[in-house]
Structure 1
Amino acid sequence: MDQSALKMFHFKDKEQSCKLLLQLNRLRQEKVLTDVLLCSDNIEIPCHRNVLVSSSPYFRAMFCSNFLERQQNKISLKGIPSATLSSIIDYVYTGLISIRMDIVLPLMQAASMLQYGRLFEACSTFLQEQLSPDNCLSMIRLSEIMNCNSLKQRAKEMAMKSFSDVSESEDLRELSLPELMGYLEDDSLCAEEEQVFETLVAWIHHDPFSRRSAISDLFKKVRLRYIHPTYLFQFIANDPLIQSSTLCTELIESVRRLMFSVSSKCIGDTAAAFKPLWVAPRRYTYHDMLVVVGGRKNNEQTSREALVFNESNQKWEWLAKLPIRLYKASYVTLHSVLYVIGGLTTSTKHSKVSTTVYTLSLKTNQWRTAEPMLEPRFAHQSLSYLHFIFVLGGLGQDRQVTASVERYNSMFNQWESMTPMPEAVLYPAVAATNQRIYVFGGEDAMHNPVRIIQVYHITRNMWSKMENRTVKNVSAPGAIMDNKIYIIGGYTRRMIAYDTKANRFNKCANLKERRMHHSATVLNNKLYITGGRYVSGHDVIEDSDSFECYDPKTDTWTLKGTLPFKLFDHGSLTLTCVSQTWAKS
């Protein structure tokens, strides 16, 4: 048999369906073979039954079942404006339709009634493009009326993400109690807890007569653990609505006892109803971000730069600059605020040892001054614990090593002197956990390494010390992960982890070079170190722009890139912000 007879050519005319639709529309316009009239507002639109049946389950049921309309030549479609019906029939025959804000609602209603699903979703897509914080709650109402899940989901996402703007709208005050509760208890709500409280108060004041009784149920949705103590005890505690509720005042008093005890153990003494509220997790729209601030830049001058690492694009971005240059200030975070404490001013002709405290939050990206320290100092150490900041040692006004310790109480916005360290040391590694501050090593006034661990008992305001031959670190940062204090480098490549419960040191993976004057912070259960100085292969001390990460699970170091410039004696900290919407300079 001839092979050519077996060959086959599969032809597909891509224009056929389009041309067929055009021809059918032309026949409709010329009223050729039309067999039914769709009527609305005394307007009659001629159509072909087979086209309508092919386009919609609604018309298929109407014309292919034992309904009365099967025998009729005129079908009245009540509730659909004639202009809307005409647009839909044009869409059926051409696949084209123009959606505008003034016609989208009747069009959507008609598409739902006549079961044109893709047209219904096209209207939903159009409305989603019009979403804003001002109208998202109204859109949620509309989506519920229209039974449009895609619009409801997008509008809800915007309401959660832009809650700061939405909370000020009149629409929010019109929410029912269950609707408001649904927002406030959601982990994905993008708002600070202070704003959550202000929102519920505004909602109650909108209709106080019928809503006042809901205060205790709503207040339980505020995660008190993440509210600044000053705001909680001076503003919230004195609010008349809160004072009118016995449960609310008991909850605040439980927090007060917990704070004043300086002990996490006292939670066992609090009311059973309070425990689940205290351990409620942070809303997951809160993000911890790595911030680098101050230090000595490119070994030229003291830096005023403040940088934040954007994990989404793996790039460093600039924050507002420090107001002045500070040499060997200390850096700490508390209640989502960055504190730059003391230091030696280098912006003036005559350097001065400072007591000044500067603060920065990612929310405002503006530097402010806070209550100054009691004593001027630089080259000191700072750390936070609960609602306190502790400042230890350093060099005082006379440029001599000091053992003095002072503490900042954020609840009362005041500094107070504490028991001094047993031994004055410079550049130790410090960390706080389980009601204790640990001070490892450092050097004495003669620049000799000190092989001791000094321990401060916070609740008793007492120090103890013990010699330990493992400790020999100078200018090494300390960081806490899983009840272990990591001491990273310090004129050495080694990193050791001190187990506070077992009172034992464990060796970890070494650094790549002998590192000192660097900084470290913990972010998402990993340890990040930035900058510093290192000893090169030729025993030369050089500045570093390195950015490395240590994973305790694998005991490995990973290079994360570089800083924008070489830097040492700086602060590397973890700062919390809501979502990624921090104010850029």
Structure 2
Amino acid sequence: MAPKKKAARQKKLAPEQGSLPVVLGGDEKIEEAALDIEKLNQLNGLLPEPGSLPSLVSAGSEVSQPEHGAALLEELSRMRQERFLTDLELATKTKAFDVHKLVMASCSQYFRELLQKDPAVRRVELPSLSPLGLATVITYAYLGRVHLSLYTIGCTVAAATRLQMPQLLQLCADFLLRELSVQTCVYVWNIAGAYRLAAVREAARRFLLENFAEFAGTAPFTQLTLEQITAFLQDDALELPSEVTAFQVALRWLEFDPKRLRHAAGLLSLVRFETIPAPQLVSEVQPVPRMMLDPDCHRLLVDAMNYHLLPHQQNAMQSRRTRVRGGRRALVVVGGRPSLTERALSRELLSREAGGSAWSSLTQLPAKSFNQSVAVMDGFLYVAGGEDQNDARNQAKHAVSTLCRYDPRFNTWLHLAGMRQRRTHFSLVATGGQLFAIGGRSAQGILSTVECYVPSTNTWHPKAGMELPRCCHASAVLPSGEILVTGGYISAAYSRSVVSYSPATDRWGERPGLGTPRGWHCAAALGERAYVVGGSQLGPKGERVDVLAVEVYEPGSAQWSYSAPLPLGVSTAGTRPRSATRPPSSATTRKQTPGSRKRSCRSPLWACPAAHSPCPAHSCHGNATATPRAPRAAGRSLAPAV
């Protein structure tokens, strides 16, 4: 008997060998008829019962082929090139393309809606599109990639916009942003404007504004339209080394084409000659023949010279042309005492830009002082009164009446007419184009007097005084223009008293009092409300103690309410509103009954961000929300907010 042949053992595939290729066709064909239900059931019977297998095995698993999508797109593209199963023709004026409806409808909202209305359509006319633009769109639809260049991007964006393909538009937008340069920025700006790519247009505009001086030396600059260069010269955010550069840029554009000279007066009126120092007006602007021969242009030069010759009239002459470009707002601290342990006074002005964290030295006061008052009006910083010596025993003895004005555009001080009375520990507020000095004290004692400074005449005028002498108070200007005077030191005690003054009628009136007596505090108006912050009062042993409560006044209801208290006590501090937007209400109205007072707060509003460095130790200083900082190349001065 012949021995039995051993069955050939199936060789197992090593894990590192990967999967075996599967070949369909050839001599060994699978007879599909044999794979019927009965046969499959027999094969399945060879498997153990489902419950006897591990759960992961019996449940099966999902498998995928990552390259399937790309391979499918490549095959569809080949089918299109071979015109295999294509069922739609797209035609421009000069060329037609065969495509698959399914592919185009899957990535174009235009074709999707078109085929939903008429699935049987065989040809679509697109006469407004270029063959290159349509070909690029079709390539993207089939392959998900395109070749872009600045020479072809226009027709691609046009086609993607017309056929409503947002993903392709985003690719084009990203490409345009990467290609931004001094040479290409105008082209990108125009393309983005033509096809409503808002983010790209804004990015190109910002790039132009930040690099305009360099751009003005290129050929594309000379091709700007009158409307375009007008828009740039009108923009407050235009960054230039100086306004003389703006003048030179405007001249270059005008002189490139003699036909443009008829627009000279209109275009040069956008140059802010008033912000050019007088010596430069004489040396850089006046020698240009057009500025002397053209009457309208000459008038611009004369107006600028008059502005510099009449410093006391400048408040009334403030306009867009007197404001520097590219300004940024900053907080300014004026003078004071470097620390409580030092007797020396400071002349330093420190500034910190809005959103910044570092303090920097801005300039110096004409003279040392502390306990002075400050105000910002018409883009100028005013510093008034205070004391010129640090004498803790008799501060009022050294009170002064001085008033000076700081011009942040030129980093210069102007000495103005002094107040009628020496004052320290008083309040200075600006409203209606005038300054009001209220109360305070001098060597003669605590004052009830009020005086008003008129910039155009450089004079002080007496106004109706308060009923009671008051010092160490704080004032804020309400939306109505009335001045709210809060707390302070009255009749040898810290007071809750609140009064208001109307500049229009020169009259005083009583207002509801504060919930907490205080002095050495600060006040500011924000939106429709007035806020009273910090300060101090007398403790049970006669010592000064911090007041942490923050109170909010609603002029409409004439009521005070408490807001979130301060985390730390502050006295003789300054405060200014950061914006004119009314914050969300977090204050609760205080209801008063005899012998009781309720205080509550819904949510804290105060924080000490770690990113904000504290101001170098100064006490009894002046504080102001300054005006925007001048452009980087123009130095460290602050630009006025007009």
TM (norm. structure 1) is 0.62
- Name 2:299's counterpart in structure 1: 250
- Name 2:536's counterpart in structure 1: 533
Q: How much does 1:457 deviate?
A: 5.3
Distance 1:429 1:554, change over 3 A: same
Where 1:141 maps in the other structure, the secondary structure is helix
- Name 1:570's counterpart in structure 2: 573
Instruction: Return the structure number with greater strand share.
Output: 1
- Name 1:440's counterpart in structure 2: 438
Tell me if 1:167 matches 2:170.
no
Where 1:487 maps in the other structure, the secondary structure is strand
CA distance in 1, matches of 2:170, 2:207: 20
Q: 1:136·1:156 contact (CA, 8 Å) conserved in 2?
A: no
- Name 1:344's counterpart in structure 2: 337
Which of 142, 145, 170 is the equivalent residue of 1:125? 170
What is the CA deviation profile of residues 324-369 of structure 1, one whole-angstrom value per residue up to 9, with x for unaligned ones?
A: xxxxxxxxxxxxxx3513x23439x863134444455559966235
Which of 156, 179, 183 is the equivalent residue of 2:232? 183
Where 1:168 maps in the other structure, the secondary structure is helix
What is the CA deviation profile of residues 20-58 of structure 1, one whole-angstrom value per residue up to 9, with x for unaligned ones?
A: x98994993786544789999xx9987557977997669
- Name 2:503's counterpart in structure 1: 500
Q: How much does 1:427 deviate?
A: 0.8
CA distance in 2, matches of 1:80, 1:192: 39
Q: How much does 1:501 deviate?
A: 1.9
Distance 1:218 1:265, change over 3 A: same
Letter in 2 for 1:109: C
Q: How many residues align?
A: 476
Which of 370, 379, 386 is the equivalent residue of 1:378? 370
For 1:486-497, list aligned pairs within 5 A: 486-490=484-488, 491-497=494-500
For 1:188-337, list aligned pairs within 5 A: 190-191=237-238, 198-199=245-246, 201-205=248-252, 208-210=255-257, 214-222=263-271, 231=276, 233-235=278-280, 238-240=283-285, 241=288, 243-244=291-292, 246-251=295-300, 253-254=302-303, 257=306, 260=310, 262=312, 278=319, 291=331
Tell me if 1:157 matches 2:208.
no
Structure 2: give runs of 5+ residues left out of the alignment: 1-68, 392-396, 489-493, 576-623, 637-642
CA distance in 2, matches of 1:196, 1:234: 13
- Name 2:583's counterpart in structure 1: none
What is the CA deviation profile of residues 449-477 of structure 1, one whole-angstrom value per residue up to 9, with x for unaligned ones?
A: 33222445555555555674524432122
CA distance in 1, matches of 2:98, 2:188: 33
- Name 2:471's counterpart in structure 1: 474
Letter in 2 for 1:477: A
For 1:389-404, list aligned pairs within 5 A: 390-397=382-389, 399=391, 400-404=397-401
Q: 1:344·1:353 contact (CA, 8 Å) conserved in 2?
A: yes
Which of 347, 361, 364 is the equivalent residue of 1:368? 361
Q: How much does 1:533 deviate?
A: 2.5
Structure with the greater alpha carbon radius of gyration: 2
CA distance in 1, matches of 2:567, 2:194: 48
CA distance in 1, matches of 2:320, 2:160: 51
CA distance in 2, matches of 1:465, 1:107: 70
Where 1:221 maps in the other structure, the secondary structure is coil
For 1:404-419, list aligned pairs within 5 A: 404-408=401-405, 410=407, 413-416=412-415, 418-419=417-418
Q: Between 470-479 and 460-469, report the one with greater CA deviation.
A: 460-469
For 1:60-139, list aligned pairs within 5 A: 79-80=131-132, 85=135, 88-89=137-138, 91-92=140-141, 97-99=144-146, 101-102=148-149, 106=152, 109=155, 112=158, 117-119=163-165, 121-130=166-175, 131=177, 134-135=180-181, 138=184
Where 1:352 maps in the other structure, the secondary structure is coil
CA distance in 2, matches of 1:363, 1:169: 28
TM (norm. structure 2) is 0.57
Q: How much does 1:378 deviate?
A: 2.0
Identity %: 17
What is the CA deviation profile of residues 39-89 of structure 1, one whole-angstrom value per residue up to 9, with x for unaligned ones?
A: 99xx9987557977997669999x96999x9xxxxxxx98439xx84x744
Distance 1:444 1:26, change over 3 A: closer
Letter in 2 for 1:515: R
Distance 1:536 1:249, change over 3 A: farther
What is the CA deviation profile of residues 477-523 of structure 1, one whole-angstrom value per residue up to 9, with x for unaligned ones?
A: 23334442221322333432211120112344543322321223445
CA distance in 2, matches of 1:520, 1:97: 61
Q: How much does 1:414 deviate?
A: 4.2
What is the CA deviation profile of residues 131-166 of structure 1, one whole-angstrom value per residue up to 9, with x for unaligned ones?
A: 279449946635756885222x32332344455414
